[in-house]
Amino acid sequence: MAETESITAPDISHIHRLSNGMTLVAEPMPWLRSAAFTLLVPAGTRSEPEGLQGLCGMTLDLAQRGAGKRNSRQIVEDLDYMGIERSSSCSTFHTSFSVACVAESLNETLSIYADIVLRPHMPKDEVDESRQTALQELLSIEDDPSQKVFTQLKNLRYGAQFGRSPYGSTEGLESVALQNMVDYHVGRYIPDGAILAVAGKFEWGELKGMVEKLFGDWQSTETNPSGSVPIQTGVQHLQHESSQTHIALAYDCVPYQHPDFYQSRGLISVLSDGMSSRLFSEVREKRGLVYTVSASCQTIGDQGSVLTYAGTTGPRAQETLDVTIETIKSLGNGISEGELSRLKARVKSSLVMEQESSTSRSSQIATDWYYLKRVPNRKQVLAEIESLTCDSLLEHFQQYPPTGWGLVTMGPEPVVLAEDLVRVDSSSCDGASEGASNGANQLPATAKPPAAKGTTR
Amino acid sequence: MKFENTTLDNGLQIIAEVNDEAFSQSIGYFVKTGSRDEVPEMGGVSHFLEHMVFKGTDKRSAEDVNRELDELGAQSNAYTCEDQTVYYMSILPDQQTRAVDLLTDLMRPALRTSDFETEKNVILEEIAMYDDAPPYGSMERCMESFYGDHPLSIRVLGTPQTVSDLDSEAMREYHRDRYAPNNLCLVATGAVDFDALVKQAEILTESWEPSRFKRVSTMPKHGSAELQFQHAPAVQQYTFELSQGVSRNDPRRHSYRLLATVLGDDSGSRAFWALVDPGLAESAGMFAHEYDECGILGLYLTCTPEDTQSNWDALVSIVREETSKKITERELTVAKNKICSSLVLSSERPGNRLFTVGNAMTMRGVYETVDQSIANYRRVTLEAVHDAWADYVNQGGARVTIGPELDVLK
């Protein structure tokens, strides 16, 4: 199929507001055999009462241990029998369910998830199992420095309420009681602000009817609070006897819903997308300092952040951080025509390839609806990208220069962030302290390459 | 969907699964060399060479290569494993000619000595990265113990010592031998113009000479040691055990995979209900993997050091001692449904089909449609799975555990 045709392939999103405040957003992809959905429930970690960190995740786990007419084992068996691929997670603002199936199983799968969200049994005799599962997950983060630095950075950057880890804390998990989970479910598993995004092979009229039937009687008087997310700056080092020093750096950018977001996203693309990107070429290709260096953007509420990661063996950590920051600043020297055309080519092929994955598309339209209250189609996104120029990118960088730096390092030796970047006293804490997460709303730069066994370049 | 297959005079095989309805195309060179084709002193050379391939050719500098890959809008990457080295990209169909030109040129890298030292540092960083991440090399150590002096024991990344000791002349010789056209397969999937692909590859590889390299396959002697290692910064304990499975050409391999799914996959298996669902372990399960002449059935467990002994005993009991608890038709059907649904879902992207189609041809010499792959699993009987189980419980295994303390597992 020629590329111009693929760009204009039909991609009409259907939108249906239920009277209870939930929104169904759906995009038919009739050429696929699959269907996928993303269900966002406005139950995030920011709504956990202080001292009960991890409540959101434990509630999510317990809700899946029996719902509607099925017990815990029957839920897993019935989903496995249909070969459903699924995951669920907590972020700052949401509990989310991501599901993919062959198209014929969509209705049955939706009805199981409606039970989980609306009619969980919350069985008393499985509370300890939920708690033990959550504690295991918390320990797994402790053992992975590249995740741990980001959980800590989130905590540093967004503070006690908005910077919480979806994995909670040991003390929090140990304090959660059944009643806390029941209350959290009643108060936060609510239709106001809930989004169900479906993509793939389905018939719209049938889907709309099905969703009305499954979710139409979901009622709650609770509403979804809004509010601004505060940003804090600072530096932290976690002492750890690892081979590498793991460096997680953040600075401000405009959020996803900002009219200039594509300018900001374009700059990150120049910085980090592809093998000719500035970070890959300066930090890895020219100097051989790292195996991994990357930047991405994240929006939490109304705050946008650029997050960068680099890992390098101890003695070279300071140089790695310095070169990373110099490279970020080098965006202020201008963007070349070549960089601009490569970023456009990359976005164009990502947009076309997104049509091959119901999972990617359902997740994208859920994100779009949450932040924008609309779903831009491929033509509109392409027009936004085509309108970027070298001058517009440079102007954007000058208008929104990197500020609000936050740095977390983990490894044998601390590194120093130049004084003109951060005027906050460095603090340090030990490696066993509570984690946080970068789980929320990280936008993919491009679709991920398929998983392959062995080691990738 | 149409399958195409041809071999050029120089021995280069070119195959494609053509789908005119696809939005994209994926192409890749599958090189039939990996860590199992190395000598221990040069451990890691296949992977190091994979990095060096992106450092430029006689016609292109490293910057040219990186720039052109990005100009294609390509999602491109490469990987090395025990059996092979694969270079691949997903592109829009109108970029086919440029992509084939670039990817084919890459198969003849310049291997400049000056790039060699910089890239050596990148690889040493890669090794250090894995040293810091769970499961802290326990799988590699277990492979070493299980395969002894058989080349499957050689680590894909090599060791800091073997990588540091590598010299560029030895790598050039290795490349001449292994990247000969008769040891490569050019694979394409999706919206591919196959005739154009063959014509272009014929011209671009005209001067390539075949080599006499052929993989040496010998049956390994399997080790059964139980080893413990300490990694002080770790919080959790990581345990692997490897036993004999079947090779990739063995007709029983579907039964073995179904057995591993029923007993130990990560959702709904017997190990899941016994250990993961109650929160006793972070993960616990069983997996099957195949090589040319042999295969693996493996067990893994991640949990706190204190619970490792009791969890391990429970896991072993499920997979080795409870053979009296016969697998039910329902369990087998669920396992088949999981595997088959995943085959269907992943087949929607040409980028995923590339690996399925390429691996089947380079490793087993066959082409299978998605429906044929599904049928291979559907036809497995309960009796065949029980036979696989009976074979398995008679095997010993090599075990490695690593964590913050020693002496956690007897």
List the 282-341 stretch of A: residues with Cβ below 8 A of B: 284-292, 311-313, 338, 341
Q: Tell me: the pLDDT tens digits for A285-313? A: 999 999 999 999 999 999 999 999 999 99
Q: Mark A160-180 as b/e (b = at least 16 C-beta within 10 Å).
A: eebbbbbbbbbebbebbebeb
Arithmetic mean of pLDDT over chain A:
89
**Whether the predicted pLDDT of A151 surpasses 90:** yes
DSSP class per residue in B145-175 = HHHTTSGGGS-TT--HHHHHH--HHHHHHHH
Paired tokens of A352 = 């076309």
Instruction: Please give the torsion angle defined by the CA atoms of residues B9, B13, B19 and B23, in that order, rounded to the nearest 10 degrees.
Output: -100
Cβ-based neighbours of A99, under 8 Å, separated by 6 or more? A36, A37, A38, A39, A84, A85, A86, A109, A113
List the 424-453 stretch of A: residues with Cβ below 8 A of B: 431, 446-447, 449-450, 452-453
Q: Tell me: the pLDDT tens digits for A33-82? A: 999 999 999 999 999 999 999 999 999 999 999 999 999 999 999 999 99
What is the spatial distance between Cα B141 and Cα B22, in angstroms, rounded to a whole number?
Answer: 42
Q: Tell me: the pLDDT tens digits for A13-24? A: 899 999 999 999
User: The tokens 């696989």 sit on which residue?
Assistant: B388
Q: Provide the pLDDT for residue A422.
A: 61
User: Which among A276, A284, A332 is positioned nearest to A310, based on CA atoms?
Assistant: A284
Chain B residue whose CA is closest to A58 = B279
DSSP class per residue in B308-332 = HHHHHHHHHIIIIIGGGSPPPHHHH
Q: How many residue pairs from chains A and B have C-beta atoms closer than 8 A?
A: 247
Q: Provide the pLDDT for residue A452.
A: 31
User: Which among A151, A246, A243, A315 is positioned nearest to B132, based on CA atoms?
Assistant: A243
**B389, B323 Cβ separation under 8 angstroms:** yes
Cis peptide bond prior to B135, omega within 30° of 0: yes
Is the CA virtual torsion B365, B371, B372, B377 positive or negative?
positive
3-state secondary structure of B295: strand
Paired tokens of B52 = 């060096």
**B283, B298 Cβ separation under 8 angstroms:** no
What is the spatial distance between Cα B390 and Cα A315, in angstroms, rounded to a whole number?
Answer: 53
Q: Provide the pLDDT for residue B73.
A: 87
Measuring CA to CA, how many Å separate B390 from each of B220, B248, B270, B272? Answer: 21, 19, 17, 21
Q: Provide the pLDDT for residue A6.
A: 38
List the 85-144 stretch of B: residues with Cβ below 8 A of A: 86, 90-94, 117-126, 128-129, 131-134
Contact A281 B63 (CB under 8 A): yes
Looking at the complex, does the CB of residue A66 fall below 8 Å from at least one CB of chain B?
no
Cα B24 off chain centre by: 24
Chain B residue whose CA is closest to A144 = B133
Out of A414-428, A437-451, B131-145, the most confident range is B131-145
**A102, A33 Cβ separation under 8 angstroms:** yes
Is the CA virtual torsion A77, A79, A80, A86 positive or negative?
negative
* Percent share of chain A, pLDDT over 70: 90
- Reported as a pLDDT band with limits 50, 70 and 90, residue A457 is low
List the 357-396 stretch of B: residues with Cβ below 8 A of A: none
Looking at the complex, does the CB of residue B232 fall below 8 Å from at least one CB of chain A?
yes
Contact A288 B122 (CB under 8 A): yes
What is the spatial distance between Cα A75 and Cα A120, in angstroms, rounded to a whole number?
Answer: 11
- Reported as a pLDDT band with limits 50, 70 and 90, residue A226 is confident
**A246 contact residues in B (CB cutoff 8 A):** 132
Q: Find the CB nearest B233 among A241, A246, A289.
A: A241
Contact B352 A450 (CB under 8 A): yes
DSSP class per residue in A139-151 = HHHHT-HHHHHHH
**Whether the predicted pLDDT of A442 surpasses 80:** no
| ipTM score of complex | 0.94
**Whether the predicted pLDDT of A257 surpasses 90:** yes
**B86 contact residues in A (CB cutoff 8 A):** 452
Q: Find the CB nearest A291 among B77, B126, B350.
A: B126
**B280 contact residues in A (CB cutoff 8 A):** 132
Please state the pTM of the whole predicted model.
0.93
Q: Provide the pLDDT for residue A61.
A: 98
Q: What parts of chain B have a pLDDT lower than 70?
A: none
First to last CA, chain A: 30
For B252, phi then psi, to 5°, come to -80, 0
Interface test with A, best of B21, B26, B92, B143 (most A CBs within 10 A): B92
**Whether the predicted pLDDT of A350 surpasses 70:** yes
Min Cα distance A19 → chain B (Å) is: 34
**B191, B24 Cβ separation under 8 angstroms:** yes
Chain A residue whose CA is closest to B89 = A449
Q: Provide the pLDDT for residue A34.
A: 97
- Reported as a pLDDT band with limits 50, 70 and 90, residue A229 is very high
Looking at the complex, does the CB of residue A419 fall below 8 Å from at least one CB of chain B?
no
Cα A172 off chain centre by: 23
Chain A residue whose CA is closest to B51 = A457
Q: Find the CB nearest A292 among B129, B348, B350.
A: B129
Q: Provide the pLDDT for residue B323.
A: 84
User: The tokens 């007419």 sit on which residue?
Assistant: A69
Looking at the complex, does the CB of residue B279 fall below 8 Å from at least one CB of chain A?
yes
Q: Find the CB nearest A457 among B63, B77, B124.
A: B77
Q: Find the CB nearest B54 among A1, A100, A457.
A: A457
First to last CA, chain B: 54
Q: Provide the pLDDT for residue A2.
A: 36
User: Which among A246, A280, A285, A231 is positioned nearest to A406, based on CA atoms?
Assistant: A231
